[in-house]
Structure 1
Amino acid sequence: MSSAVRSSARLAGLARKAVPVSARGYATSIPARAHHQVVVVGAGTGGVTVAAQLLRARGSEKTDIAILDPAATHHYQPGWTLVGSGLKPLKDMSRPLDAVIPAGTQHYPLRVSSFDPENNAVKTAEGVDITYDYLVVAPGLETNFSGIAGLQDALQDPASLVSSIYSDKTVEQVWRNVQAFKEGEALFTQPAGIIKCAGAPQKIMWMALSQWKRDGVRDQIRPTFATGAPAMFAVPKYSQALEQLRQERGVDGLFQHNLVSVDAKNKVATFKNLADEGKEVQREYGFLHVVPPQKPWDWIAKSPLADAAGWVDVDKSTTQHTKYSNVFSLGDASSLPNSKTAAAISSQAPVLISNLVAAMRGEQGKASYDGYASCPLLTGHNELMLCEFKYGGVPKETFAGVFGGQEKPRRAFYHLKKDFFPLVYWNSFVKGTWFGPKGWSKPKSS
């Protein structure tokens, strides 16, 4: 692109002034300005996978790639449900960031502050400008614990029996609380709006109920699932099955009830009833699991790349930006209108790579993303409902020909989630060799 060429030319011969940056416990020197062929913002699942697949793409093995992310650790976030359920240790769900960034990729431990797509530039809080020919935006989203009054204080008090699987800082407390709770009101919440892994709020509920049954205290516990959504799940087929499960297992349902505050001292949770003009509803609890509201990062939402809702505005089929043709996005930060899950990224990434490589060759990309996402929804020990679907809430089930409809929880699916997927993630997914429903077979379109 002409603007990309101009950007590169402006930087040619530019003296590089070193800026010291402290990162991961050691000091490094980073230029005040730098240019790369492809800049990836975010070293989570989406960003690392894109970098790894791009380096493996035919004809782009020597692509100059840089990743911007200030984190020291890469987390396998789908595994936090396993940690909260007592099935896996937290240490198995993370790796040092350097261990997952592909070899040959330049890593800048910098915080993005703004985007200047007209000049193909990313500006950072540390004062470093990184310019690019092509940009991939994949920083995930923000879990906003401060969006619920009183929640942060409650989470810091182990005696409160308030916890959340949505942070590596709080997830281990979930399992301790499940073990400690023996009788009373147990509340499990899900906020209104978009969140990552929309099935996770009830995964931990089903696992807690299963554990309490194992411990012989289930009959003394009165569980409630309080969700800002109007139903158990967004896909009708699975929602119906989960609603039946809720009724069979004696779980009270508070639908369109959004948690707004937690009073840990008096053990009271306050909700707004979205179906009744926001009327406040208070519920006492003995055990409370909270999923915080989530939103785009401000530096995304306020940028020229964002749509009206704050997500990176991309075509839902190509993952290419609707205005800036040298910008792509996938994962939680993108406007792709489907569930924000790692499984979705496994199908988005090869499409993005195919279309990005085509753009780098001056061609029109032909790969298309159908909205595939998956939610391996734990419903108890040794059982899991493998929800798979595409745009429009249409089921797209990988194993339907073997097992029949996947709305029925099965033990085989449970072991996929518990044992198989973590291994695949560390050994293949982030190394660019895993393609979701296609397994290790690269889709033909990419």
Structure 2
Amino acid sequence: MPTTAASLRSYATVNAIPPKPHHRVVIVGGGTAGVTVAAQLLRSKQFQKDEIAILDPAKDHHYQPGWTLVGSGLKPLSDMSRPLSSLIPEQVAHYPLQVSTFDPANNELKTSDGVDVSYEYLVVAPGLESNFAGVKGLPEALQQPDSNVSSIYSDKTVEQVWKNIQAFKQGTAIFTQPAGIIKCAGAPQKILWMALSQWERDAVRKEILPIFATGTPTMFGVPKYSKALEELRVQRQVEGLFQHNLVGVDVKNKTATFKNLADNGKEVEKEFGFLHVVPPQKAWDWVAKSPLADAAGWVDVDKTTTQHTKYSNVFSIGDASSLPNSKTAAAISSQAPVLVDNLLAMIRGQELKAGYSGYASCPLLTGHNELMLCEFKYGGVPDETFAKVPGIGSQDVPRSIFYHLKKDFFPTVYWNSFVKGSWYGPRGWFKPDTTKTSA
């Protein structure tokens, strides 16, 4: 018999946990993807108490899209997290353990505490790692309150972003974006636009030279929105350093070192007075080195069904998956019902008919009281929810109504509906017919 959630939470030591618990469905990760999948599986009424288990050692669950609001001075950090145990349904067993190895051939996984867990079906959704140590000198810079270096990509550093924005009055302000895959690819410039807007309010904008230094070749991965954002960059007199990847930070000399990817990696140094850094990001080593990973380290799944390409009883969504789209919470809102429907179909011995179109959304703040709501699917094709609404039209235009969706509506919906399994992104509170989703 599986161990109950109540008893698991009462264990004072790891040694008290049974040596080899077994569950019908094991979910690795208690972030947005993991908690949402668990909640939606329970809503199917196909599972008894403790047939589903979540493994995650974290004490808190973070609403990471809200960190931009914190860094912009729009929301307190305390609004952006909850105790993880308070979000996991009572019917779901919670193991506060860290996975160390996967053994999909035997339907088992091992934890760093020496506990083996077996399963019938596995959902891998542990997110990704923000690799601050991947930039020389960055960890040390972030630990110095007077360094003027900060990042919205961690709950430990995000409050410093707002302090730095408020304190900065003149000089060069650099905002970076790394080459490669990151979560929420619009966030590196969201904080840029919000800082500029604040400096306009503080009447110091003319004294500041803003630079957007990105390891990518364009402002955004979707051509329609990239064009609009490039026009905004030029209009607002932001210097663009494209294909410039940050590799080092020297706080003492106030310099940032970049590799120019368009010039054989030639190093370029830039002096700064203010520096906002987005760290490089990667799959967790224990995922990347497992039998579940593809060559790039992500869980190798079919881009439509979310099922593993080799192990049929394994599924993955969210930041850890190989799904070739933007890694955002909005993407998970469309991925989760597809995974759930296909997992249930597999349990029933039926064909997997649910399909994920690649939908993702980036509510891209462009200043106070304005936001560009970028929505798209596989291939960089716009997939806009409000485009046909009278008075709105094309979503490459920043609008006030979208700003309030991001600032006021989405955080509330996240805590009250999303992680409880009743929010489906562009479909709102109405569960979509996943068999009609096409790429």
TM-score by length of 1: 0.94
Aligned to 1:196: 183
Gap change, CA 1:66 and 1:59, over 3 Å in 2: closer
Gap change, CA 1:253 and 1:32, over 3 Å in 2: same
1:311 match: secondary structure: coil
Distance (Å, rounded) in 1 between the aligned partners of 2:18 and 2:224: 53
8 Å contact 2:109–2:117 — kept in the other structure?
yes
1:32-431 residue pairs with structure 2 within 5 A? 32-60=19-47, 64-402=51-389, 403-431=392-420
Q: Which amino acid aligns with 1:248?
A: Q
2:21 match: secondary structure: strand
8 Å contact 1:24–1:72 — kept in the other structure?
no
Distance (Å, rounded) in 1 between the aligned partners of 2:355 and 2:89: 25
Report the Cα offset of residue 362 of structure 1: 1.1
Distance (Å, rounded) in 2 between the aligned partners of 1:395 and 1:25: 49
Report the Cα offset of residue 58 of structure 1: 4.4
Distance (Å, rounded) in 2 between the aligned partners of 1:65 and 1:439: 26
With 356-365 and 312-321 compared, the bigger mean Cα shift is at 356-365
2:140 match: secondary structure: helix
Instruction: Give ranges in structure 2 of 5+ residues lacking alignment.
Output: none
8 Å contact 2:50–2:91 — kept in the other structure?
no
Distance (Å, rounded) in 1 between the aligned partners of 2:101 and 2:116: 10
Report the Cα offset of residue 384 of structure 1: 0.1
8 Å contact 2:50–2:92 — kept in the other structure?
no
8 Å contact 2:49–2:92 — kept in the other structure?
no
Report the Cα offset of residue 32 of structure 1: 1.5
Gap change, CA 1:425 and 1:26, over 3 Å in 2: farther
Q: Which amino acid aligns with 1:430?
A: V
Distance (Å, rounded) in 1 between the aligned partners of 2:337 and 2:167: 44
Gap change, CA 1:25 and 1:225, over 3 Å in 2: farther
With 135-144 and 56-65 compared, the bigger mean Cα shift is at 56-65
1:197 match: secondary structure: coil
8 Å contact 1:38–1:63 — kept in the other structure?
no
8 Å contact 1:55–1:62 — kept in the other structure?
no
CA RMSD of aligned residues (A): 1.7
**Percent sequence identity over aligned pairs:** 74
8 Å contact 1:60–1:357 — kept in the other structure?
no
1:357 match: secondary structure: helix
8 Å contact 2:135–2:247 — kept in the other structure?
yes
Distance (Å, rounded) in 1 between the aligned partners of 2:393 and 2:12: 53
* Stretches of 4+ aligned residues off by more than 4 angstroms: 23-28
8 Å contact 1:269–1:284 — kept in the other structure?
yes
Report the Cα offset of residue 222 of structure 1: 0.3
Distance (Å, rounded) in 1 between the aligned partners of 2:11 and 2:388: 51
Q: Report whether the alignment pairs 1:443 with 2:432.
A: yes
Gap change, CA 1:24 and 1:191, over 3 Å in 2: farther
1:31 match: secondary structure: coil
Report the Cα offset of residue 369 of structure 1: 0.2
8 Å contact 1:110–1:125 — kept in the other structure?
yes
Q: Deviations over 1:181-220 (max 9, x none)?
A: 0000000000000000000000000000000000000000
Q: Deviations over 1:328-373 (max 9, x none)?
A: 0000000000000000000000000000000111111100000000
Distance (Å, rounded) in 2 between the aligned partners of 1:116 and 1:75: 29
Distance (Å, rounded) in 2 between the aligned partners of 1:288 and 1:352: 40
Report the Cα offset of residue 123 of structure 1: 0.5
Distance (Å, rounded) in 1 between the aligned partners of 2:421 and 2:48: 13
8 Å contact 1:54–1:61 — kept in the other structure?
no
Report the Cα offset of residue 27 of structure 1: 4.5
1:39 match: secondary structure: strand
Report the Cα offset of residue 60 of structure 1: 3.8
How many aligned residue pairs are there?
A: 429
Report the Cα offset of residue 57 of structure 1: 1.2
Distance (Å, rounded) in 1 between the aligned partners of 2:11 and 2:355: 42
Distance (Å, rounded) in 1 between the aligned partners of 2:12 and 2:402: 43
8 Å contact 1:55–1:63 — kept in the other structure?
no
1:401 match: secondary structure: coil
Q: Deviations over 1:90-118 (max 9, x none)?
A: 00000001111112100001110010000
1:158 match: secondary structure: coil
8 Å contact 2:41–2:340 — kept in the other structure?
yes
Instruction: Give ranges in structure 1 of 5+ residues lacking alignment.
Output: 1-11
Report the Cα offset of residue 444 of structure 1: 1.9
Distance (Å, rounded) in 2 between the aligned partners of 1:168 and 1:103: 27
